[in-house]
A = this chain, B = another copy of it.
Amino acid sequence: MELIKSHLFIRFKLNPPRILALGFMLLIIIGALLLNLPIASQNGESIGFINALFTSASAVCVTGLVVVNTATHWTLFGQTVIILLIQMGGLGIMTMATIVAMISGRKISLKERLVIKEQLNQETLSGLVKLTKYVIYLTLFIEGIGALFLSIKFIPQFGLIKGIWFSVFHAVSAFCNAGFDITGNSLMDYNNSVLVMLTVASLIVLGGIGFGVILDVVRNRKWRKLSLHSKLAISFTVFLIFFGTIIFYILESNNPLTMQEFTFKEKTLASLFASITPRTAGFNSIDVAGMNQSSTLLTIILMFIGGSPGSTAGGVKTVTMLVLIISTISIIKGERDVEVFKRRIPYETIFKSIAIIMIGIALVFFVTFILTLTEDQEFLNILFETTSAFGTVGLSRGITPELSNAGKLILTLTMYSGRVGPLTLAFAVGYKEEHKRFRYAEGNITVG
């Protein structure tokens, strides 16, 4: 009897991933209720719950897919709700919980620390409160700098108040990799502004590289002193941005629907930005619907990979993909160990990467399959939209406002799953703490 009770307790208790999943869900619902209010919409009428839910999920999950134009549909109240949801989503609901705990002076329990640990992907419990403070200060600091740079462009253009509001909104939206804009046209009017493009691009990269990596770099400064994790995250991110820029330049520079009319400088800026934004910001400086099929496929792959772990970005994450690529190469070479930068990658890490990527692929294809049934859209656009939702990217080839209600709900769930993380969600479902004490004999299977 005691055994059963204890077993049930283990089965249903709130483990960190479950708390995370529930926290995000709660925030989305609160956001939906607020955005559903008539005062949130310019026309004074409620937008309807499904649209409010979609928008709230898109903000909390820092996705940026929108069913209505953020600039023209929402009131200042609505936009403020959205940017607050983005900031809370971006920092992570658990980091927010720590703030609340600090403000109210309540002691943080070990379980809460574990939750934060899971959220930040840090391996040590000690100094977590300190770290959380760091994260918040750093976020506000970087967003502040970003807003300052943007204001150089926006204040002359929109006047002081509106200029500051635009600068703050887009700095937060960029650093949180949210991709929401209140220009009405994303960054397509700022193609030729090196200041705006590079500021936003820098905010995206910093927001998507992971707090841990930023702290590591700030503390250690030298490449060889960095952790293996930081080395992998930085090198793969640089690799993806560099080659992405070159390939986008080649593929799109003569496309009349995107860059053909651009100068060399604008083409380079636009290619760089097209390479950075799938990591997983969602701003666009060229017309995504006008991109040709090859660039679209490349964007889909980059969106699926996404940013780095422990960051505001989505996707399966750079390091996860890199671990799988390195592992595959090692297997092909017939090597016993998977090694990188003179370190051995633990089997556990490899298995975790596999699970994340397999679930990611399965989820993207399953949702795409369902949407081919509910939506009357081209396959490539559906695949793009699904990957964008899963990776919480927010880029779209224009089909978001045309989605059916079923489609909106499915993508809401996809954004949620993409944000909480395929594995975190999976752990939250299948988590178990006990293992069997005996092992079966190995079976002989031929594969391939």
Contact = CB atoms under 8 A, between A and B. Distances in A.
Interface string A301-333: 100000001100000110110011101110111
A349 B445 contact: yes
B448 A356 contact: yes
A343 B317 CA distance: 33
A340 interface: yes
Contacts of A349: 445, 447
A423 interface: yes
B355 A441 contact: no
B331 A444 contact: no
A166 to B, nearest CB: 34
Contacts of A433: 334
A429 B334 CA distance: 11
A233 B120 CA distance: 42
B439 A344 contact: yes
A431 B331 CA distance: 10
Nearest to A231: B443
Given A324-B358, A347-B347, A351-B327, A444 B123 contact: yes
A228 B241 CA distance: 45
B445 A323 contact: yes
A345 B442 contact: yes
A331 to B, nearest CB: 4
A322 B411 CA distance: 28
A223 interface: no
A30 to B, nearest CB: 27
A102 B404 CA distance: 65
Given A349-B447, A446-B212, A354 B327 contact: yes
Contacts of A436: 335-336
Contacts of A342: 440
A398 to B, nearest CB: 16
Contact of A343 (B229, B426, B441, B447): B441
28 contacts: A121-B446, A229-B443, A229-B445, A232-B445, A319-B446, A323-B445, A323-B447, A324-B354, A331-B354, A332-B359, A332-B423, A333-B430, A333-B432, A334-B430, A334-B433, A336-B435, A342-B440, A343-B440, A343-B442, A343-B443, A344-B440, A344-B443, A345-B445, A346-B442, A349-B447, A352-B448, A378-B379, A421-B448
Interface of A: 121, 123, 212, 227-229, 232, 251, 292-294, 296-298, 301, 309-310, 316-317, 319-320, 323-325, 327-329, 331-337, 339-347, 349, 351-356, 358-359, 361, 365, 368-369, 372-373, 378-380, 382, 421-424, 426-427, 429-433, 435-436, 439-448
